[in-house]
Structure 1
Amino acid sequence: MYKNQINQQPLVTLLSDFSDRNVYVGIIKGVIAQINPRLTVVDLTHQIPPQDIAAARFCLMNAYPYFPVGTVHVAIVDPGVGSKRRVIAVEFAQGFLVGPDNGIFSGVLSQSPATCAVELTNLNYWRTPQPSKTFHGRDIFAPVGASLASGVLLKQLGQEIDPASLVKLDVGECKQTSTGVVGCIQYIDHFGNLVSNIPGSYVQGKTWYVQAALLSIRGCETYSDVEVGEAIALVGSHGWVEIAINSGNAHLQLQLGSQETLQVVLS
């Protein structure tokens, strides 16, 4: 168990596709409070598009570096709930991950590899030994996350598994070419910005543009470098090359979507 530098209870974060129109998130927080009402619970987001594991993967990968070491991240975007897919908890350098083994954690683990992983087979840490077939967030992930944050050791939660066996989500590869880098759109945010899987380090200090479909979009530093309504390519706060429209929605206006190929051309 990690020790917080200022000797506080570790945080628990929640990420899901439950939205705020249902009681599901409130129920999960109630389960956590039943185990340890002193825990601080932070909502990363509950607005992941339904069943969109790739979006959840990206959002969690983007968020985890900003939390203290020892934070427990509970992520629940789980179209396979109730099936034979594994329920897991993972330890990595920054803390813990709790959720389904469906690739939702593969973004985080690509940056900070797992040091230990378990399948959650110890029913003593579930809310009930007969969990709902449709709400593992309530009956498994919330109580396990609260237990971890309260000091329960990872290996007490179940059977240890090989971290290499964890499901990896294929979001496309980023490949260098003779003229630049080829990648794809890995995420579309609330503003319609098209976030690629090309790290911003490739374009740092260079003159560049993005080719996507039949479009050529010049690389700039800020949205204000182009006129309102004009397309722009830049490195977002997340560190990835993205396509945006100044004061507009690139997803709708350019008709580009997830997994579409794009190329950064260095000039």
Structure 2
Amino acid sequence: MRYLLLSVIVLLLLSCTKKQTPAIVLQTDFGVKDGAVAEVKGVIFETSPAIPVFDLTHEIPSYNIGEAAYRLQQTAPYWPRGTIFVSVVDPGVGTARKPVVLKTLTGHYFVSPDNGSLTWVAQKMGVVQVRQIDEILNRRPGSADSYTFHGRDIFAYTAAKLAAGKISFEEVGPKLPAGVVMLPYQQPVYENRAIKGNIPVLDPQYGNVWTDIDTSVFKKLQVRYNDTLEVKITHNDLLVYAGNLPYMRAFGEAGENDALIYMNSLMNIALAINMGNFSEKYKIGSGATWNITLKKY
């Protein structure tokens, strides 16, 4: 009886210490109107039904590598070490751009074409190593003649094998120099009592304008809540918007349909209209050619 009890305890301890299968988080510009996302998930499920699969988004604007890069760095810090992100915004699919897996200093993995999609996670989370996916060893069987759906045949398949422990990170493929393709963008700069930054993305649900001006740069203006700032937004150096806006803690501190400046959830400066849509009203876009200047009024 004693030995039976001991055996049960050992089995319980082993089950408690069993290594958990890491999650895969998917991001694409595929949309959900057809079966593309389901095909990707099917490949993962077929490789191992034990892999937890989650969606970051499948609504990245078509071919928008810059937004894919931003959404990865927006989301990844809130997932545990070991999580594997598959990001497929790949207008160069089937060409010479490299399929890679990036391991960051934070212990996350990013499976993606090396086309700029990894810009922000490489910069903010650090690079341990980058490996090029061996398309002979780590490609879905029977897909050699498929050139336009690497999201299913290479990226999802490799991520699934990695998550399931069927390959190690070293077995993904050959090691590359410790760097990835980086997108150019205007980093926030403080000079002459003003800050110039970039508008990398919009908040698509509400039309808020998100900038890359973080707290470390913004504090140089020595702004307090309810202070007014002069705001200018340019596109390709042409003025699109100019106005004086208050800096507030929350949307509800402004009157309905009034515009304001606030600190968003990523601790970057943003613009909004309380109960309205700033980007739609003023025809504001995002990307490397959209810049913003803030000056204390």
Please indicate, yes or no, whether the TM-score normalized by the shorter chain is above 0.5: yes
Match of 2:156 in 1: 142
The partner residue of 1:160 within 175, 187, 205 is 175
Determine if the alignment matches structure 1 residue 261 to structure 2 residue 291: yes
Structure 2: segments with no counterpart, 5+ residues:
1-16, 233-240
Determine if the alignment matches structure 1 residue 116 to structure 2 residue 136: no
Match of 1:202 in 2: 217
Displacement of 1:122 after TM fit? Answer: 4.7
Match of 2:48 in 1: 36
Alignment of 1:94-133 (within 5 A): 94-128=107-141, 130=144, 132-133=146-147
Determine if the alignment matches structure 1 residue 179 to structure 2 residue 193: yes
CA–CA distance in structure 2, aligned partners of residues 161 and 130 of structure 1:
23
Residues 204-253 of structure 1: per-residue CA shift (max 9 Å, x gap)? 57335251232222211100111111111111112211111111111111
Alignment of 1:164-243 (within 5 A): 164=179, 166-190=180-204, 191-203=206-218, 206-207=223-224, 209-212=229-232, 213-243=241-271
Determine if the alignment matches structure 1 residue 68 to structure 2 residue 83: no
Structure 1: segments with no counterpart, 5+ residues:
none
CA–CA distance in structure 2, aligned partners of residues 12 and 261 of structure 1:
34
Contact preservation (8 Å) 2:188, 2:217:
no
39-48 vs 151-160, greater mean Cα deviation: 151-160
Contact preservation (8 Å) 1:85, 1:102:
yes
**Residues 68 and 131 of structure 1: CA distance in aligned 2, closer, same or farther (over 3 Å):** farther
Contact preservation (8 Å) 1:13, 1:41:
yes
CA–CA distance in structure 1, aligned partners of residues 212 and 230 of structure 2:
13
What letter is aligned with 2:294? Answer: V
What letter is aligned with 2:151? Answer: G
What letter is aligned with 2:263? Answer: V
CA–CA distance in structure 2, aligned partners of residues 243 and 58 of structure 1:
17
Residues 54-113 of structure 1: per-residue CA shift (max 9 Å, x gap)? 111111110001101000000001111111111101111231000100111111111111
CA–CA distance in structure 2, aligned partners of residues 29 and 116 of structure 1:
26
CA–CA distance in structure 2, aligned partners of residues 231 and 184 of structure 1:
19
Question: Could you say which structure has the larger radius of gyration?
Answer: 2
Displacement of 1:192 after TM fit? Answer: 1.1
TM score, norm. by length of structure 2: 0.84
The partner residue of 1:80 within 77, 92, 96 is 92
Superposed structure 1 runs of 4+ greater than 2 Å apart:
200-210, 264-267
Contact preservation (8 Å) 2:252, 2:274:
yes
Match of 2:12 in 1: none
Displacement of 1:6 after TM fit? Answer: 8.0
The percentage of counterpart residues that share the same residue type is 28
SS at match of 2:155: helix
TM score, norm. by length of structure 1: 0.93
- Tell me the matched-pair count: 262
Contact preservation (8 Å) 2:230, 2:242:
no
SS at match of 1:32: helix
113-122 vs 59-68, greater mean Cα deviation: 113-122
86-95 vs 32-41, greater mean Cα deviation: 86-95
CA–CA distance in structure 2, aligned partners of residues 237 and 135 of structure 1:
34
CA–CA distance in structure 2, aligned partners of residues 131 and 39 of structure 1:
27
SS at match of 1:56: helix
